Amino acid sequence: MSTAPSRTAPRFAIVGAGVIGRHHGLVTSQLADRLSLVAVADVDLDRASSLTAERGGRPYASLGDALAAEEIDVVVVCTPTGKHGEVAIEALEAGKHVIVEKPAEITVARTDEIIRAQQKAGTLVTVISQHRFDPATEKVLAAIEAGELGRLTSGIASIDWWRGQSYYDSGGWRGTWELDGGGALMNQGVHTVDLLIAALGRPVEVFAYTGTLAHERIEVEDVATGVVRFESGALGVLHATTAAYPGLSARLQVHGDRGSAVIDNDEMAFFHATPAGSSPAEVLMGSTQSISGGSSDTAAAANPGQLSDAHRLQYLNFLGALAGTEKLRVDLETNRQAVGVITGAYESARTGRPVVLS
């Protein structure tokens, strides 16, 4: 039995009761002692009713209906990506705090519209970037901050997934520029791109190719490759696909002149750092078997339950920021950089030229 929230617990409304909306419903039930789910809005009222029957609250056909009927503090946006901005801005204009599923919007300009609405409202907005809260990510970013990987030289963000044709045929919005905003890179790859930016810093230029090679009746790419140049001089590689049968992993590699790290499916697959006060070995190395000294470890395959826990950790950070007890770790500006890299990659693929990022 879940613990009842306190009388001062923030009241949440979820907009969009599809797959990701149901996942947010799960997270709100996990945190039932810290928040209260009072409403679920969806254009398909039966779908909203189904989610409220599981997780609580009342169903509504629109956010406007929910705002008119309920006292709401936080709106969670789980609509198709191309609708994120209009729902988030409606919530912000009503003075509400907002949690937006990734990515914030399908273009930098539309992300900036949300930023302007947030600045006018003066409320909090976070974009779901839950993998920044994974233990493996936190370890790598802490090592980078401490200088244990030395000067960062390169990184790879790779998403080797498979989506059958039935996935794209399951919803009219899937695989469209208007509502999906892109394919393998925008929809599936945005989290790993975000982690590459978190590790390597501000991106300044991108060059890419894209293709639609294994699916029909979609407008967007099912494979994308590219390179990113970062302000520090580090170089990054992008690879995102939903055409890698039967589906492999999402993988981040970060390399420096004192250490390297590999995160595979949210788990640490390799980590080697040179402790402060010591020097890296001056030997020729071509494999991890050659490494001696330093700090190294490997990890097993990903835990399927990690997604829920990572979302919960980001929710806890958001709740702490609402209460004024901690800093919000992911904001709109954070997500804007990932959207910029991805939309820059699309522009590069269309023009055949590198794109300088603002």
- Do residues 316 and 211 share a domain? no
Give the least confident one: 283-287, 318-322, 351-355.
Answer: 283-287
- Do residues 292 and 342 share a domain? yes
Q: Is the pLDDT of residue 292 over 80?
A: no
CATH number of the domain to which 285 belongs: 3.30.360.10
The backbone torsions φ and ψ at residue 141, rounded to the nearest 5 degrees and listed phi first, read: -65, -35
The pLDDT of residue 6 = 58
Structural domain boundaries enclosing 141: 131-302+337-356
pLDDT band, very low/low/confident/very high, at 286 (cuts 50, 70, 90): low
Domain membership flag for residue 114: yes
* 3-state DSSP of 20-69: HHHHHHHHHHHCCCCCEEEEEECCCHHHHHHHHHHHCCEEECCHHHHHHH
- Do residues 102 and 140 share a domain? no
- Do residues 205 and 298 share a domain? yes
- Do residues 57 and 147 share a domain? no
Please, are residues 318 and 99 in contact by the beta-carbon 8 Å criterion? yes
pLDDT, one tens digit per residue, over 101-122 is 999 999 999 999 999 999 999 9
- Do residues 126 and 39 share a domain? yes
Domain membership flag for residue 251: yes
- Do residues 195 and 120 share a domain? no
- Do residues 137 and 125 share a domain? no
Total domains present in the chain: 2
- Do residues 206 and 97 share a domain? no
Tokens of 249: 């992993």
Domain membership flag for residue 227: yes
Please, are residues 38 and 62 in contact by the beta-carbon 8 Å criterion? no
- Do residues 270 and 317 share a domain? no
CA distances, 99 to each of 15, 55, 144, 235, 330 (Å):
10, 18, 28, 31, 10
Single out the residue of 187, 199, 219, 196 nearest to residue 101, CA to CA. Answer: 187
pLDDT band, very low/low/confident/very high, at 2 (cuts 50, 70, 90): very low
- Do residues 59 and 141 share a domain? no
Terminal-residue alpha carbon distance, the chain: 50
Domain membership flag for residue 2: no
Indicate the pairing of strand 11-15 with strand 295-297: unpaired
CATH number of the domain to which 39 belongs: 3.40.50.720
- Do residues 112 and 201 share a domain? no
Mean model confidence pLDDT for the chain: 92
